[in-house]
Structures are given as C-alpha cells and as structure tokens.
Amino acid sequence: MKVALAQLNFIVGDFAGNTQKIIDAINRAKANGSSLVVFSELAVCGYPPLDLLEHKYFIDSAIEGINAIARSCTNIAAIFGAPVVNPDANGKNLYNAAIFCAEGGVQKIVHKALLPTYDVFDEYRHFEPSKEFGIIEYKGYRIAVAICEDLWFEQPLHEGFGKEKLYSVNPMDELARLRPDVVVNIAASPFAYNHDNIKREILANTARKYQLPIIYLNQVGGQTEIIFDGGSRIVNSKGAITKRLAFFNEDFETVDLNEVLQSEINETLFPVPDRIEKIHNAIVLGIKDYFLKLNFKSAILGLSGGIDSAVTLVLAVRALGAENVRVLLLPSKYSSEHSVVDAVKLAENLGVRYDNISIQTIFDRFESSLSGVFSGRNSDVTEENIQARIRGVLLMAVSNKFGNILLNTSNKSEAAVGYGTLYGDMAGGISVLGDVYKTDVYRLAQFINTENEIIPQNTILKPPSAELRPDQKDSDSLPGYDLLDEILFNYIELRKSVSEIIGLGFPPEIVTKVIRLVNINEYKRYQSPPVLRVSSKAFGPGRRMPLVAKYI
C-alpha cells in the first residue's frame, strides 16, 4: 500500500485555506497512486486554536471543513486532525480527534486520550480525554491511530522536578492489545533545540517495545511564539528511521508501506542539524510566519552596532528579504564611533535601508525639561532609561508612519535579569532572541559568518555594552555571560533551587543575586512581546509565574 505523508503549514482559523490545502494534497496523493494520505493534528483548524474553541462558529466551520475533505476522499483515504463535538452530556464540549475518511465520507473518528497541560499546552481546558480505543481496518491493514501525546505516556526524565509518567492510562498498551499492523501518530509537536533527540528516543522505544512500525506526521510552521519543526518520519519495528521529511519546511513524500517498514536503513542518512543551526532555522521560520500569517509586509529594528541587533537583523533579512527590512541607527554621545561604523557596515552588507538619527538633541531637551524636578539628584539609571525610551518612540514613529512592524532584539539573559527598559528597548511586535541566551547569540553570529563575514568581526569581539553612560559595559552590572547563562539555565530550564545551584559549585553571592533579579523582574516579562520559543522553557505561556509572590 502506498502512503503519502503531507507535512503542511496551517493557519489557525483559516478554514478555507487549510481545507483547500488538505484537499490539494489528497488529490496529489491520489495522482501518485497512494491509498492513504496522512496529515497533522488539528490540521483543519490549525494548532493551537486556544480559546477560539469556545466559539460555536469556529466548531461549525471545522465541521464544514471535515465534510468537504471527506467528499474529496474517493479512491483514497485520509487521516487528519480536527476538533469534534462531544455528544455526551457530561465532560468537556469537545474532543481532539483524528478523522478517517474514505469512500467520500467520514468512516471513523478517533479521540485523543492524553491531553497535555504543561509548558505551552493547555488541552484539558477544552477537550475531553478519550477512554475508548479502536482500530481502523483499511486495505487489509489494521491501523492504530494515536494523536501526538498518546505516544508520550513515558516522559523523558530531566534533572529538575518532574515525573516520568504523567498519566494513569497508556494508550499504546490499549492499542497493542488490538493487534495493529502499524501505528499512525498525527502530531503538533513544538520545536525546542533538544526536542528532536527526545522525540527520536520516544518513537524508537515505542516501536521496539510493541514491535510496531510508526508513521509519525508532525506539523510545520510558526504560530506566534510556538514553532513547529516538521521532521515527520517513518520508524520501523526495530526503532530505526526509514524515512524522514524536511525540518522547518513543508514536505510531501509518497512511500510504499511494505518496503519502507521492513527496510534496514542506516540512520546516518538522516542527520539532525547542529543545535545552533536548528535555532537559526527555527527563528527564521518563526519570523517569516509571524509576518505572513498576520499579513504584515515589512519590519524595522534599532541597529546599535551590538551583537543582539546585528543577529536579529540578519535573521529578519533571511526571513523577509532585505527589501522588507529597514533599520534606524540612533546614536547618542555615549555611542562609540565604532558602533556606528559597524552598524552601517552590516546594513550595507545586507543591502537594507538605514537612517541615522541622533537622539542627543532630544535627550538634552529631556534633561533640560526635567532639571527642575530632578534638582539636587545625581544622574542614575533614570537617564539611561530615558535614552532607551527615546529610541523606542522614534522606532515606533517610523513603524506607524510606514507600517513596519518593530522587532524586539533583547536576548534571554537580559530578559531573565531585567536588563532592559520597559517601553524602550523592550518594545516590539515579536521578540526574536528572547529565548536565546547571550552566549548562544554569539554562537549564532559565528554560524552566520561561517562562509563569509556578514556581521563585522568587531561587533562579535567587543565587550557587550548598552552604551547609555560613559565607558559602560554589561559586566558592570552582571556577571560574565558564561557564568550568568549557566546559572540561568539551571534555574529556568532545570528548575533547580538556589541551594542546588550553589551545590554545583557556583559562587553563592552571585547565584543569590542572579536568582533575585530573575524573580523581581517578572513584572517586566509580563509586559514583553511574544517570544519565539526555541528552548524547553521559554518566557511566556510556557513559564507561568506569579507577579506577586514571596520567592525563596
């Protein structure tokens, strides 16, 4: 039996577009002689639909899409995801479902059993978990359909606080008792730079444990802060990958099920990109889809001559094209001449439009206007923040006048410890590097310069500085980024306590200071733009901390 894998990029709520994209793929699979075509989780409505699931029109539109897709399934079958109504008077209104269509109609509906409510997921808010399990019989095959988390009964253990098993029922145990020939897993599994290794382990272990081949079909594309990396694959009963689709791009493959499932493919044929390359590709896709799906055309950012804005600019140009990106150089008397020169050189290297607007005259007027109120007080962080806010106002003015969406350039290290100015350099429609630690920003710069020098070497080598006061350096206020990022990773990603981190050998006074800064700056992060998620624990919906609390 020939099976087509349709790894597609859907838009939440675009029922007409999503439905047509699915039907087009069905027709393509039919033309290739396929008997079955597989799509991702909640493909009809897009993932994650969040509280749109509470609107009746949204569910009615999903049902219309299901019926239209079903009518196209003649001489071929399809498996795709969609929300469906729970007819029972008890429980949640909806099920997260896999729809099996053939012979011009819906033949079977399979409901998701394991509903994740951790990290960015909140599926139990809307969906009822399934307690029934069944098999689809088609073309002589017994097909077990599992939806994303249904294959993740055993979670990968991490060094932090957590359980290996989050659920009381293992769907694969139930399905295995029905003696299927193959498992089809439709998924919307978000990207994290370490996630593919975990996914690979989950799929391989499941295949080997039950001696069942797995067809895994994942969504691809950016959805605000969440990025789906694709990487759909077929795994044989020995746990080896025998076919894999592209990362970070739509892809379509037709395979002979018998040949692929029984083959002994060397997995070196399917190399996984380097961690930094994956982060680079994920962010480019995240920017591209944020603009495309919101119908935005162009971007703007402040180019300071520093590493963060430089890397952000390159990623934006690669996502949107140089013609759709412009930058403002906004120097003050504290800006080094080299910073301006580096910024101009980068803009010219990339072919983007740049305007140089000094903020010094505006800043002088602020100081003059506030001189009476501030009489008798020394300059401090207030004057630094005024400069950042002037820049924010100018960037937003150009944004409003020309319709450019402002990209935020702050990194995760700065966001963690509050090293940023509300309504100034924290402004923006989307945070490009907000889930990338400073040490990885440098690695991204080196990756960008692999073949030739795009980012000026001086930008990479010079000590990082906000350049808001004479001879300022980040190290005046923060520990070195190598040390800072290790402490932050242990606290944020691994959820270790202060005492546990100190126990690892980090200096107690520095650990205590850093963790205090993380905790007291939660209010700033509440007012930050959405952050493109590339790690296992990003700021935003995946890390929900109280604003008002007494932290240990």
Task: Report CA torsion sign: 278, 283, 286, 288.
Answer: negative
- Position 19 pLDDT exceeds 70: yes
- Arithmetic mean of pLDDT over the chain: 93
The pLDDT value recorded for residue 543 is: 92
- The arrangement of secondary structure in 2-261, i.e. its CATH architecture, is 4-Layer Sandwich (3.60)
Confidence of residue 76 (pLDDT cuts 50, 70, 90): very high
pTM over 0.75: yes
3-class DSSP string for 404-436: EEEEECCCHHHHHHCCCCCCCCCCCCEECCCCC
Confidence of residue 271 (pLDDT cuts 50, 70, 90): confident
Helix, strand or coil, per DSSP, at residue 469: coil
**Higher-pLDDT residue of 464, 525:** 525
The pLDDT value recorded for residue 462 is: 87
Residues of the chain with CATH 3.60.110.10: 2-261
Residues of the chain with CATH 3.40.50.620: 279-478+521-526
- Position 159 pLDDT exceeds 70: no
pLDDT digits (tens, 9 = 90+) for 397-435: 999 999 999 999 999 999 999 999 999 999 999 999 999
d(CA 228, CA 468): 38
Residue 500 falls in the annotated catalytic set: no
The CATH homologous superfamily of the domain defined by 279-478+521-526: HUPs (3.40.50.620)
The pLDDT value recorded for residue 469 is: 73
- Position 231 pLDDT exceeds 60: yes
Which of left, alpha, beta for 299 (phi over 0: left; psi -120 to 50: alpha)? beta
Helix, strand or coil, per DSSP, at residue 501: helix
Catalytic residue among 30, 148, 225, 243: 148
Q: For the residues 280-298, what does the mean pLDDT come to?
A: 98
| Residues 430 and 532: beta-carbon distance below 8 Å | yes
Degrees to nearest 5, angle at CA 508 with 505 and 513: 130
- Position 157 pLDDT exceeds 70: no
The pLDDT value recorded for residue 258 is: 81
**Higher-pLDDT residue of 174, 551:** 174
Residue 73 falls in the annotated catalytic set: no
- Position 489 pLDDT exceeds 70: yes
Tokens of 326: 């412009």
Catalytic residue among 41, 123, 128, 467: 41
Degrees to nearest 5, angle at CA 139 with 136 and 141: 55
Which run of H or E residues covers position 363? helix 360-370
Residue 131 falls in the annotated catalytic set: no
Catalytic residue among 21, 112, 293, 537: 112
CA terminus-to-terminus distance, the chain? 59
